[in-house]
């Protein structure tokens, strides 16, 4: 088995992260540092260590979901000491778990964690087109023309987006004057903020659902910004067949066997 695959399966890091560990000289096989990415190991005979810690192919893999609140970075460690999603994982389970992809600091909703690097790698691989569904509130009135453009593809700086499924969920709130929520919010004084919270100011926002099968950085925000409707809030409801449901913000739970199987099926991976 290739060493980076072994490391990923053993929960040392994602496949890409495992390669970084190797090239950084942090991986030893039977006591010798191995940096070459093509290197092979025999899982039954070889002793593999990262930073001198033994890595084994655990029989029992861990799969979790979290309802990520706003205000947390999607990383297991922040050198600047800001709040991270790691702070919300059960302490006794956090070892070896890593997040599958990332949600922005201010994005809320479903975040998957696992120790299974192979499955995580496949779920994130663009060729597998795993669907991610988001609930989005945008500034202004989202028109049918916007919906069509978002659905068909947007030319972002990193290429054309793949077809998306976009649905307007509710009539825009407010008086329809096109008031820009974000700009207006910055100018508000305390009294106006209170009025805004009480729904007494004319604010126009539209709620929509968008399902994308890619995972580019800040993709949803960039797509809506392109059509002139900046995102006010973003919440992930589903990742593949796994849905967030009523898990409270900041809470985590183990995925069920069926949920794990659903993810494995989506990327044509056999259960282990
Ligand atoms: N798209 C974004 O723009 N942000 C996220 O956090 C997730 C998807």
Q: What's the pLDDT tens digit per position in 83-113?
A: 999 999 987 766 778 899 999 999 999 999 9
Kindly give the number of the ligand 1 atom that is closest to the alpha carbon of 223.
Answer: 3
Q: Which residue's alpha carbon is nearest to atom 3 within ligand 1?
A: 218
Asked if the model's pLDDT at residue 172 lies above 60, the reply is no
Instruction: Give the list of residues 6+ apart from residue 100 with CB closer than 8 angstroms, or none.
Output: 111, 112, 113, 114, 120, 123, 124, 239
Q: Is 104 in the pocket of ligand 1 (CB under 6 A)?
A: yes
Interatomic CA distance for residues 181 and 138, integer angstroms: 9
Q: Does 174 or 255 have the greater pLDDT score?
A: 255
CA of 234 to the centre of ligand 1 (A): 7
User: What's the pLDDT score for residue 94?
Assistant: 66
Q: Is 255 in the pocket of ligand 1 (CB under 6 A)?
A: no
Q: Is 103 in the pocket of ligand 1 (CB under 6 A)?
A: yes
**Band of pLDDT at residue 186, cut at 50, 70 and 90:** very low
Q: Does 181 or 11 have the greater pLDDT score?
A: 11
CA of 215 to the centre of ligand 1 (A): 8
The per-residue pLDDT of the chain, averaged, comes to 86
Q: Is 107 in the pocket of ligand 1 (CB under 6 A)?
A: yes
Asked if the model's pLDDT at residue 35 lies above 70, the reply is yes
Kindly give the number of the ligand 1 atom that is closest to the alpha carbon of 231.
Answer: 3
Kindly give the number of the ligand 1 atom that is closest to the alpha carbon of 221.
Answer: 3
Angle (deg, nearest 10), helices 117-124 and 257-266: 50
CA of 172 to the centre of ligand 1 (A): 22
Residues labelled as active-site residues: 104
Interatomic CA distance for residues 19 and 250, integer angstroms: 31
**Band of pLDDT at residue 195, cut at 50, 70 and 90:** low
Asked if the model's pLDDT at residue 28 lies above 80, the reply is yes
Q: Is 234 in the pocket of ligand 1 (CB under 6 A)?
A: yes
Interatomic CA distance for residues 90 and 68, integer angstroms: 14
Q: Does 171 or 27 have the greater pLDDT score?
A: 27
Q: What is the pLDDT of residues 140-152, one digit of tens each?
A: 889 999 999 999 9
């Amino acid at each position: 088995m290739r060493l980076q695959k072994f490391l990923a399966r053993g929960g040392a890091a994602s496949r890409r992260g495992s390669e970084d560990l190797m090239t950084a000289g942090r991986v030893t096989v039977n006591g010798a540092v191995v940096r070459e990415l093509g290197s092979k190991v025999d899982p039954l005979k070889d002793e593999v260590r990262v930073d001198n810690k033994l890595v084994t192919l655990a029989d029992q893999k861990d799969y979790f979901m979290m309802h990520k609140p706003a205000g947390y970075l999607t990383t297991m460690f922040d050198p600047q000491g800001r709040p991270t999603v790691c702070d919300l994982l059960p302490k006794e389970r956090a070892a070896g778990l890593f997040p599958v992809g990332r949600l922005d600091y201010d994005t809320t909703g479903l975040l998957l964690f696992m120790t299974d690097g192979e499955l995580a790698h496949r779920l994130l691989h663009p060729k597998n087109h795993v669907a991610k569904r988001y609930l989005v509130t945008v500034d202004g009135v989202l028109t049918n023309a916007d919906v069509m453009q978002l659905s068909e593809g947007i030319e972002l700086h990193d290429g054309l987006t793949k077809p998306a499924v976009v649905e307007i969920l509710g009539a825009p709130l407010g008086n329809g004057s096109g008031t820009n929520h974000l700009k207006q919010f910055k100018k508000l004084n305390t009294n106006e903020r209170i009025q805004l919270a009480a729904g007494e100011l004319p604010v126009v926002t539209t709620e929509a659902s968008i399902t994308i099968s890619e995972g580019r950085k800040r993709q949803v925000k960039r797509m809506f910004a392109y059509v002139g409707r900046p995102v006010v809030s973003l919440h992930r409801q589903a990742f593949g067949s796994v849905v967030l449901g009523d898990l409270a913000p900041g809470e985590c739970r183990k995925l069920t066997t069926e949920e794990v199987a659903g993810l494995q099926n989506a990327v044509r991976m056999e259960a282990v």
